[in-house]
Structure 1
């Protein structure tokens, strides 16, 4: 999408980020039967304190179309990353803006950030059976499944571990 800008979120973006993240997870069916995860998704202030929240913005309108949280090992939001790895979480695009390239731009920004920091890889987890478009995006970017990184935070929520090795990084 032309006219798309990825930048760090400001506190003025937090309400939009909270709204669109919860809406995206709800639209994809990922909050059915969940207890409390919508509140975690909506707590953008906490995410920004413990990681880097990025937003994809329509340059023409200033509208926040999507967001993602980038973290390093040791962050309260790091689930899979180990030494030399970065991770991103909670990538979400407003359901009304999906298909415009915001998700890909956010994922690419996280990979670029990891490379700039000298990370050897980026790891993520995706919910099995959900978000087919996200699975396709990550596959196109070169992420590969690591079954040993699969896990389940609560019964009935199965997360698949994916990893992208960064070329030229140790």
Structure 2
């Protein structure tokens, strides 16, 4: 059965919030100060959907994961500059990993960014431990942009987010 990528439906927000939170918790990606606040942001799919596009990967009736696509700045953008789209919060349920859902979600964001016609790049931030995601990004043509690496929490100097970009 094929994986389908589509807009998240409000009835799926809670389940996607759980998948996202569990993916980050299960992979040890929230072991830093202020992680409770970020955990709340990961769970709050409704807030994300109000400010950006939230896409889901489904296979049959099964929700496999999701991603947030920020086409043109706004409150959900972390690093996007004018002319850049941004992707955030890629997460795939542990049971859904290895099926291509993560790559399909990223490809859908790339397609959306290209369809706008006025985006020159798509950018993202990632943690160093997210190696599987790095492989997806690199396979799809994203390149590291170390000059844009940043720390979302200056009080936590060990947390530096790595950045990638794809020229469209």
Aligned to 1:8: 7
After TM superposition, the score normalised by the length of structure 2 is: 0.93
Residue 135 in structure 1 maps to residue 134 in structure 2: yes
The alpha-carbon distance between structure 1 residues 93 and 12, as it changes in their structure 2 partners (threshold 3 A), is same
Match of 2:160 among 137, 158, 161: 158
Counterparts of 1:64 and 1:32 in 2: how far apart (Å)?
A: 26
Q: Which consecutive residues of structure 2, in runs of 5 or more, have no partner in the other structure? A: none
Structure 1 counterpart of 2:126: 126
What is the TM-score with the length of structure 1 in the denominator? 0.92
Contact 2:121 2:166 (C-alpha < 8 Å) held by counterparts: yes
Q: Which residue of 2 aligns with 1:67?
A: 66
Shift of 1:66: 0.6
Provide structure 1 residue ranges, at least 5 long, that are not aligned to the other structure: none
Q: How far off is 1:117 after superposition?
A: 0.5
**Residue 35 of structure 1: CA displacement?**
3.3
Match in the other structure for 2:116: 117
Check the 8 A contact 2:73/2:85 in 1, yes or no: no
What corresponds to 2:43 in structure 1? 42
Give the total of aligned pairs.
162
* Secondary structure in structure 2 of the residue aligned to 1:70: strand
Could you tell me how far 1:3 is from its partner in structure 2?
1.3
Contact 1:125 1:159 in 2 (8 A): yes
* Structure 1 residue ranges (4+ consecutive) displaced by more than 6 angstroms after TM superposition: none
Measured in 1, the distance between the counterparts of 2:111 and 2:133 equals 18
Partner of 1:102: 101
